[in-house]
């Protein structure tokens, strides 16, 4: 049974479609990141899961129980969901221990104190239980927030940009710590972010959102190597489109030579384009080269060349011992990699 199932979910604000027949499944103990550009509908999806808004169509099912569809609506406080936000949302007038105990009023006092101690232990804040939120660092406040969200053993945890207010230097340590805590507690989680780096570090799977729909769900490697469409490929990082002919399931021919693919190319069409990322390109001097170098920058460990080819611009790194003569014509050499091939049909 999936932990969360969103089926055909649609939501409109004042007649404006924000979520459009969205489908998503999160399996038990899985952390899925909703990742996408600003305004694509991530927070609205999270609100629909939490019950803070009621979708006009479709269903929200948590652990097999329907929370919302055209006929049912379970109120947020009865969904057994834990929530964690970027501003921590701790109660300033309550101590760490009181913040964690908040929401545990169904337990009797000894049980409540025991649970609070367990949670303090889990987030390594045993010595901070009597402090107030303003006496803690951002990372410590976020640990209290996760302890509070997990204290009543939710079925599902929702995290909305929880790391965006955390100093960059400690952010990745905190991401690792909180991921370990969630895994330890065997809770499924949905994490909203617009940062790819955070998403890769924190989640098991990424759901790339675009214009109110899930463009693709999968682990980071699958999305990079086999993006199902242009939106996913481009969202994951810059690249350049080059005309290509698929010569069999294992490679393509381009104006820059043949490229073998480390993943099978399953399209039935032969004509299309490949989306090539900078790390798969090598710049070489070539008397017939059509690539224009616009700028060369030394960035300490390597050079970065800003190049232009047929209206497309790209920054390509090159090792310092492979200097390109920018006064001479330049071309690309494409390394063997997991080729992102899109047929003409898929590109339109």
Ligand X SMILES: Nc1ncnc2c1ncn2[C@@H]1O[C@H](COP(=O)(O)OP(=O)(O)OP(=O)(O)O)[C@@H](O)[C@H]1O
Q: What's the min distance (Å) between Cβ of 83 and ligand X?
A: 15
The burial of 320, by beta-carbon neighbours within 10 Å (0-12 exposed, 13-18 middle, 19 or more buried), is given as exposed
- The distance of Cα 161 from the centroid of its chain, to the nearest Å, equals 11
Residue 43 interacts with ligand X (CB under 6 A): yes or no: yes
Contact call for residues 62 and 24 (beta carbons, < 8 A): no
Select 129 or 194, whichever has its Cβ closest to ligand X. 194
Q: What's the min distance (Å) between Cβ of 209 and ligand X?
A: 7
Site string for ligand X, 183-212 (x = CB under 6 A): -----------x------------------
Select 19 or 293, whichever has its Cβ closest to ligand X. 19
Q: In the chain, which residue ranges form alpha helices assigned H by DSSP?
A: 42-50, 96-101, 109-122, 138-151, 168-185, 196-202, 220-225, 230-235, 344-347
- Cα separation, 326 vs 328, whole angstroms: 5
Q: What's the min distance (Å) between Cβ of 64 and ligand X?
A: 26
**Is the sign of the CA dihedral 135, 199, 170, 277 positive or negative?**
negative
Select 147 or 214, whichever has its Cβ closest to ligand X. 214
- The distance of Cα 61 from the centroid of its chain, to the nearest Å, equals 22
Q: Which residues contact 348 (CB under 8 A, 6 or more apart)?
A: none
Of the candidate residues 44, 254, 261, 273, the single one contacting ligand X (CB under 6 A): 44
**Is the sign of the CA dihedral 200, 203, 205, 206 positive or negative?**
negative
Of the candidate residues 33, 42, 175, 203, the single one contacting ligand X (CB under 6 A): 42
Site string for ligand X, 12-41 (x = CB under 6 A): -xx---x-----------------x-xxxx
Select 207 or 291, whichever has its Cβ closest to ligand X. 207
Distances (CA, A) of 183 to 24, 146, 187, 231, 293: 21, 13, 7, 31, 48
- Cα separation, 85 vs 192, whole angstroms: 10
Q: What is the 3-state secondary structure (H, E, C) of 79-143?
A: CCEEEEECCCCCCCCCCHHHHHHCCCCCCCHHHHHHHHHHHHHHCCCHHHCCCCHHHCCHHHHHH
Q: What's the min distance (Å) between Cβ of 213 and ligand X?
A: 12
Select 81 or 314, whichever has its Cβ closest to ligand X. 81
Select 13 or 91, whichever has its Cβ closest to ligand X. 13
Q: What's the min distance (Å) between Cβ of 195 and ligand X?
A: 10
Q: What's the min distance (Å) between Cβ of 126 and ligand X?
A: 35
Site string for ligand X, 254-273 (x = CB under 6 A): --------------------
Q: What's the min distance (Å) between Cβ of 179 and ligand X?
A: 21
Contact call for residues 53 and 47 (beta carbons, < 8 A): yes
Select 19 or 81, whichever has its Cβ closest to ligand X. 19
Q: What's the min distance (Å) between Cβ of 254 and ligand X?
A: 36
Site size toward ligand X, by CB under 6 A: 12
Residues that bind ligand X (CB under 6 A): 13-14, 18, 36, 38-44, 194
């Amino acid at each position: 049974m999936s932990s969360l199932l969103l089926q055909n979910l649609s939501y409109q604000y004042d007649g404006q479609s924000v979520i459009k027949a969205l489908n998503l499944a999160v399996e038990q103990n899985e952390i899925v990141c909703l990742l996408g550009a600003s305004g694509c509908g991530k927070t609205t999806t999270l609100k629909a899961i939490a019950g803070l808004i009621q979708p006009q169509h479709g269903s929200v099912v948590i652990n097999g129980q329907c929370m919302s569809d055209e006929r049912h609506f379970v109120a947020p406080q009865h969904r057994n969901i834990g929530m964690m936000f970027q501003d921590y949302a701790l109660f300033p007038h309550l101590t760490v221990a009181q913040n964690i105990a908040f929401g545990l009023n169904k337990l009797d006092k000894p049980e409540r104190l025991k649970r609070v101690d367990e949670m303090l232990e889990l987030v390594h804040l045993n010595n901070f239980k009597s402090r107030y939120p303003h006496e803690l660092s951002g990372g410590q406040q976020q640990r209290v927030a996760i302890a509070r969200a997990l204290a009543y053993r939710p079925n599902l945890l929702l995290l909305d940009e929880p790391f965006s207010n955390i100093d960059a230097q400690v952010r990745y340590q905190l991401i690792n710590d909180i991921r370990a805590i969630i895994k330890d507690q065997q809770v499924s989680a949905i994490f909203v972010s617009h940062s790819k780096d955070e998403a890769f570090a924190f989640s098991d799977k990424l759901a790339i959102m675009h214009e109110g729909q899930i463009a693709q769900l999968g682990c980071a490697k699958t999305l990079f190597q086999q993006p199902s469409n242009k939106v996913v490929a481009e969202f994951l990082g810059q690249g350049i489109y080059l005309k290509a002919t698929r010569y069999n399931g294992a490679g393509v021919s381009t104006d820059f030579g043949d490229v073998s693919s480390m993943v099978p190319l399953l399209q039935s069409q032969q004509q299309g384009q490949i989306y090539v990322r900078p790390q798969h390109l090598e710049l070489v001097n070539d008397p017939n080269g059509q690539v224009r170098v616009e700028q060369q920058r030394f960035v300490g460990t390597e050079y970065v060349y800003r190049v232009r080819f047929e209206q497309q611009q790209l920054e390509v790194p090159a090792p310092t011992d492979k200097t390109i003569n920018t006064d001479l014509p330049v071309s690309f050499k494409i390394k063997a990699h997991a080729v992102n091939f899109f047929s003409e049909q898929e590109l339109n």
